[in-house]
Amino acid sequence: MLDYKIEGGSLPVVICYPQAGQTICTQNGAMSWMSPNIEMETKGGGLGKMFSRMLSGESMFLSEYTAVGGSGMIAFASSFPGSIVPFEVSAGNSIIIQKKSFLAMEKGLELSMFFQKRLGTGFFGGEGFIMQKVSGNGIVFIEIDGYCKEYELRENETMLIDTGYLAAMTESCTMDVVPVKGAKNMFFGGDGVFHTKVTGPGKVYLQTMPAYALASAIMPYIPHGSND
């Protein structure tokens, strides 16, 4: 079992304490600080896995950090104000995460591209389309933009989510994209043309401030270059 703690409030960091021989994997550039007995090795894992990670918005290579000669310490800070959520992955309990939500995971877990079963999801899912699946056995840490709100959906219980606000869901949930009802709502409502529909049973992780939403909010206040 990996020993860790999450600190920092809205500017979080997960500090891991691997025992000798324990390995933590992350994408290139995610490590923030570490003890000197942590050894790093960069791996691709084969062309298929590298290409899959590239399509899902991650680095083609993963960095492996292993504690050597005793227990060590390594930290991974979030790249955006929000939350870091740990999830215990096991057989039959994989998690589907939004692209760029992956922060770090124990070696033994596998990060792969998640393909939606329904055609509409692929064409109209927007931020929710390209997702990743984490499977295997171990702990994965995911980044949440803003506050993380969790819901436990019952069998056949559904929830409509605005594009980009779905950060993760357990593999037992299913996902589709449905059009906004009403022509005026669709074109003048300001919430887009489609919503993501998630159906239980399973857990859903929602984020309150997707990076693109924050960028849109502050864009009017950013001074633009003058033509003078």
Cβ count within 10 A of residue 3: 12
**At which residue do the structure tokens 């003078």 appear?**
228
Asked whether the predicted pLDDT for residue 200 surpasses 90, the reply is yes
pLDDT at 114 (0 to 100): 81
CA distances for 61 relative to 104, 158, 164, 174, 212, angstroms? 13, 36, 25, 29, 25
Asked whether the predicted pLDDT for residue 228 surpasses 70, the reply is no
Q: Give the architecture-level CATH label for domain 3-216.
A: 4-Layer Sandwich (3.60)
pLDDT at 47 (0 to 100): 40
Asked whether the predicted pLDDT for residue 95 surpasses 60, the reply is yes
What percentage of residues in the chain have a pLDDT greater than 90?
56
pLDDT at 179 (0 to 100): 81
Please give the Cα distance from 61 to 54 (Å, whole number).
9
The two structure tokens encoding residue 191: 């919430």
Asked whether the predicted pLDDT for residue 4 surpasses 80, the reply is yes
Residues in contact with 98: Cβ distance below 8 Å, sequence separation at least 6, in sequence order: 127, 128, 131, 132, 164, 166, 167, 168
Residues in contact with 206: Cβ distance below 8 Å, sequence separation at least 6, in sequence order: 148, 149, 150, 151, 161, 165, 166, 167
CA distances for 104 relative to 9, 92, 192, angstroms? 18, 20, 32
**Mean pLDDT of all residues in 152-157:** 98
Please give the Cα distance from 99 to 164 (Å, whole number).
10
**pLDDT tens sequence across 209-221:** 987 676 667 777 7
pLDDT at 142 (0 to 100): 96
Delimit the domains of the chain by residue range.
3-216
